[in-house]
Structure 1
Amino acid sequence: MMRAVSLLAVASAAAILSACAGGVEPPAERGVCYVVEPGADGADPAFNVLARDQTQIEFCAARLEEMRLRFLGLGGNRRDVIGVYQGQFIFIDRAGVWFGKSLDGPRFMALARTGDGRLAVPGAIEQAPVAPGQ
């Protein structure tokens, strides 16, 4: 009886954890860069192939940025783009490029925008020294 209760408790905990960790499962196909189209009315998002044979997540981010700029140049107004590379989400916005494991979980900055809008590694951006007292 005790063993059955323990198994039931473990199964319940696993079900709760999987429900919490649920969300959208991104594709993890090797070397494929996807653009994510939000689902309408609460539907799951669509994952559309943007580029194949991408060797690094940064190259996928570059393809997503190219797409974003191309659409803006054609008169579009979508400034934020979401993509996926090998199971990892890529978020591009006016501040830069962010990576995350889920659509709504924590993100970390991978590339920051420079003053002229280009993308650079955050530590590579030099700031003008501030004089004492300013």
Structure 2
Amino acid sequence: MNRTEFEAKLNEVYKGAVKPLTSYVSEHATLVFQCDKCGLKFFGKPNHMIGKEHQQHKCNYPYGDINGERFQIVSSSRNKRKKNSSKATSERFYEMVINDYTPKEIAKELDIPLVLVMDYFNKEGLI
């Protein structure tokens, strides 16, 4: 696919709303795009932008998690849960330290890297 074919397909899919800000090199090269509808500037590959529907840009729609799964909804309650769970985790961490849990037990139960727990124990002089 050459540049003119790509631009024609891009205009067909997005009706002229999404424009590349960098020069087209190949269908596998990452380009910077801008959407005129939502104003978002983002990275994308030409073959993804005009490819399958789940790879295309959708205005005001989150792109998803680290596994490539798109979120169905955007909710502020998700952020609140994360904040509360991190506070609960830190409280539980200190409780476990006071109750003489080993670093391995703490890391396993709280599902955090052992290196972080060991670093804390070293800095506090517990090891």
TM-score (norm 1): 0.28
Higher-RCO chain (CA-CA 8 Å, sequence separation at least 6):
1
Structure number with the higher helix fraction is: 2
TM-score (norm 2): 0.29
Structure label with greater radius of gyration: 2
Structure number with the higher strand fraction is: 1
